[in-house]
A and B are shown apart, each in its own frame.
Chain A
């Protein structure tokens, strides 16, 4: 069974009198374990699509089936519960909590799902931090970390609760190209090792190279959908 099935997905933003059509009929299927990028020009609808997939927003028309569940009938609270347990987010501007250490920033995401023992929490947090290459930096606060390191914390935070899906909207936009590649390598590695499905958007051709499926969006429609090995 596919992880995601989108049919006729449409999103129109109501801006007072003007209606802005951001997505116009997207049909897509994403299988479990895919490592997919969504790219396209600015304003093409990438963020809008990721928000819909991530249960942060609801479509104007069309359906999304997330792991067998139709999202259409769910209210805000139900969507929050799905996000809590099954979706990890990586943001362009990291959005770490500045008063917490790297360890605590990851820890609080795993505590949110409330399914592990105390001892296991510590093991998991340490393991995931080591896996993204942050061993030894656990006790640093965000302002004591570089941009790339912060984004690794964010990836660890998204992954630690073992979600079904990780969404990353332009995760490397604030990073230089070398760091961008490192961050993408980490994401690809986690995808291989944990089998977590990743969908990320980007403008950067260098970053796209890491994807195994490339979906191009133009004017709110799928312009190209290409897989490679």
Chain B
């Protein structure tokens, strides 16, 4: 159509302005893609952190416990009876399972006290779900049934906690706990190992002790908080969780199975995606302003031309069409440029990675990340940001185009 041809020619008419506006859009698109890749990388990493150091792929737990887990109650615990453990071990793709007992504690070095989470574990089972071997900076994991001199319990703590308490392997700690009957009790422990993992929560707030020591100190018998499970493929976890939950109904109807993607921390990571949307909005706003500015400049320049077109009988909507098409063209150009830049940028980012540990401490934001963050590919983001760029260019041009096109032809032809 003729108007289309005119719009395309107008694009080439102010090559510099077209290129500048397209570049602004391209830059916005590029920036979004980098950020999206970074946030994706962080999210992915925090999933991995949580799975690898805390939660495994699946958790068998009572529904009541799950509901108030942050309080680490000693009620609604489960007994890892043989039937239950057989069902657990027979799920498809099973790699390992570990029963653990979590509890609140105050840890003291005799001078200072800090609140921590105590975690009773059975080392060989634990190693089947959570692999900490590479993260010991000092000492090592205690062994099954190990006791130190005078019947003192062994314990493993995080590096940061060790620094805060100024302790190292061989030093003693006291864990003050309240047992199931709300009676105070203590666990005397000697540090056997210090770990430094990628998960700040583990580094700073966890004390591992043998499961039987914890069970005794808390007077819970042979019960545990939950059973963690590891599978061959994390993506199959939700399906397996459902199947296993059904099977467990016959053993104990209060039992539930949750997969890693249902963890609160992961939902928080999902909320970060919302932040992503916000950035998208800001970026698209920039694109919209660039387009509006361009349309107004072009319209002011072409006032007499618009007047002539209207005098000749062009309808307002036909004039709008030429401007809108022109802006959409700029949007497409900017979008393509931005996507190309994005492909290059994200490509580099996935290989090189960014080291954030020295720059900012992410732990307060709930992103358990240390070390380098690598970008992730998110093809859908490329498609959406391109589409949004074009759509925003289109829509943001309508109003200024209307303003230009609705001019009285006489006033447009004789601008003074």
Q: Are B313 and A81 in contact (CB under 8 A)?
A: yes
Q: Is A91 an interface residue (CB 8 A)?
A: yes
Q: Are A99 and B313 in contact (CB under 8 A)?
A: no
Q: Given that A95-B305, A95-B307 are known contacts, is A89 also in contact with B312, CB under 8 Å in the complex? A: yes
CA distance A144 to B315 in the complex (A): 29
Q: Is A98 an interface residue (CB 8 A)?
A: yes
Q: Is A124 an interface residue (CB 8 A)?
A: no
Q: Are A93 and B311 in contact (CB under 8 A)?
A: no
Residue numbers in B under 8 Å from A51 (CB-CB) = 410
Cβ-neighbour of B13 out of A87, A98, A109, A111 (below 8 A) = A98
Residue numbers in B under 8 Å from A82 (CB-CB) = 313
Q: Is B304 an interface residue (CB 8 A)?
A: yes
State which residues 293-333 of B face A: CB under 8 Å.
304-305, 307-308, 310-315
State which residues 44-84 of A face B: CB under 8 Å.
47, 51, 54, 56-57, 77, 80-84
Residue numbers in B under 8 Å from A109 (CB-CB) = 312
Q: Is A100 an interface residue (CB 8 A)?
A: yes
Residue numbers in A under 8 Å from B311 (CB-CB) = 54, 56, 83, 89, 91
Q: Are B9 and A99 in contact (CB under 8 A)?
A: yes
Q: Is B154 an interface residue (CB 8 A)?
A: no
Q: Is B150 an interface residue (CB 8 A)?
A: no
Residue numbers in A under 8 Å from B314 (CB-CB) = 80, 84, 112
CA distance A84 to B410 in the complex (A): 15
Closest B residue to A93 by beta carbon equals B304
Q: Is B365 an interface residue (CB 8 A)?
A: no
What per-residue 1/0 map shows which CB atoms of B374-410 lie under 8 Å from chain A? Answer: 0000000000000000000000000000000000011
Q: Are B9 and A77 in contact (CB under 8 A)?
A: no
Q: Is A203 an interface residue (CB 8 A)?
A: no
Residue numbers in B under 8 Å from A85 (CB-CB) = 313
Q: Given that A51-B410, A93-B304 are known contacts, is A84 also in contact with B312, CB under 8 Å in the complex? A: yes
Q: Are B9 and A100 in contact (CB under 8 A)?
A: yes
| Max chain B Cβ within 10 angstroms of own Cβ: one of A47, A93, A99, A108 | A99
Residue numbers in A under 8 Å from B313 (CB-CB) = 80-85, 87, 112
State which residues 5-25 of B face A: CB under 8 Å.
6, 9-10, 12-13
Residue numbers in B under 8 Å from A107 (CB-CB) = 2
Least CB distance from A99 to B in Å reads 4
Closest A residue to B310 by beta carbon equals A80
Q: Is B413 an interface residue (CB 8 A)?
A: yes
Q: Are B308 and A95 in contact (CB under 8 A)?
A: yes
Cβ-neighbour of B308 out of A84, A87, A91, A111 (below 8 A) = A91
Residue numbers in A under 8 Å from B6 (CB-CB) = 97, 99-100, 108
Closest B residue to A57 by beta carbon equals B410
Residue numbers in B under 8 Å from A100 (CB-CB) = 6, 9
Residue numbers in A under 8 Å from B413 (CB-CB) = 91, 95
CA distance A82 to B2 in the complex (A): 21
Q: Are A89 and B2 in contact (CB under 8 A)?
A: no
CA distance A107 to B409 in the complex (A): 21
Closest B residue to A113 by beta carbon equals B313
Residue numbers in A under 8 Å from B307 (CB-CB) = 95
CA distance A44 to B403 in the complex (A): 32
Q: Are B305 and A111 in contact (CB under 8 A)?
A: no
Question: B: which residues have CB within 8 A of A?
Answer: 2, 6, 9-10, 12-13, 304-305, 307-308, 310-315, 409-410, 413-414
Question: A: which residues have CB within 8 A of B?
Answer: 47, 51, 54, 56-57, 77, 80-85, 87, 89, 91, 93, 95, 97-100, 107-109, 111-112
The 9 closest A-B pairs by CB, nearest first: A84-B313, A95-B308, A83-B313, A99-B9, A111-B2, A99-B13, A80-B313, A89-B311, A56-B410
Contacts beyond the supplied A89-B311, A99-B6, A112-B314: 19 A-B pairs with Cβ under 8 Å = A51-B410, A56-B311, A56-B409, A56-B410, A57-B410, A77-B315, A81-B313, A83-B312, A84-B312, A85-B313, A91-B308, A91-B311, A93-B304, A95-B413, A97-B6, A100-B6, A107-B2, A109-B312, A112-B312
22 interchain pairs (CB within 8 A)?
A47-B414, A54-B311, A56-B410, A77-B315, A80-B310, A81-B313, A83-B312, A83-B313, A84-B313, A84-B314, A91-B308, A91-B413, A93-B304, A95-B307, A97-B305, A98-B305, A99-B6, A99-B12, A107-B2, A111-B2, A112-B312, A112-B314
